[in-house]
Amino acid sequence: MTQEIATLAGGCFWCVEAVFDDVIGVAAVESGYIGGTVPNPTYKQVCGGDTGHAEAIRIAFDPAVISYDDILDIFFHIHDPTQLNRQGNDVGTQYRSAIFPHSPGQEASARKAIERARQDWDKPVVTTIEPEAPWYVAEDYHQEYFEREGAGNAYCMAVVAPKLQKFRKSYAARLKRQAEVS
């Protein structure tokens, strides 16, 4: 299997990771930090908003099963790309909406995906396309956070769970669980 990588920032990485963990063709999702100026930042530093990093996810996927374009369309469906430097109550540049392409082809696809997304929103899409930058894996306790802690975390129940439910309803044919049943 040939794998490609997509790196996306769409607010809290717990939310975005939980969705892409469910997608057919996605082999792995890793939470981390990208786009800042401090080497090896900690969660506390990133949350302070002074490092320039975004909370992001890195997705390893099989392009024979799901295309980069489809991943971008899901990305635009599961977060609000019209909110500048925030998602809901999470405020700061670390929660910005951004795409970090790994090739000129991905950059071209990102530009087209933003144009497609504009048709679905009444306000301007503020998602940025940022240059590839060093990737810093988030601390272990952030990996698969919703899977491990979601039911016991009020934030996850209020924010992540509804987002995941909306995604599962809209993209039932793209779910790993659906494929296992079929």
Name the helix (H) or strand (E) containing 19. Answer: helix 13-20
Continuous H helices in 48-103: 68-78
> What distance in Å separates the CA atoms of residue 129 and residue 114, rounded to the nearest whole number?
9
Of residues 12, 15, 47, 156, which has the active-site annotation? 12
Whether 156 sits among the annotated catalytic residues: the reply is no
What are the percentages of helix, strand and coil residues in the chain, rounded to 5?
45, 20, 35
Helix (H, G, I), strand (E, B) or coil at 125: coil
> What distance in Å separates the CA atoms of residue 116 and residue 108, rounded to the nearest whole number?
13
Catalytic residues: 12
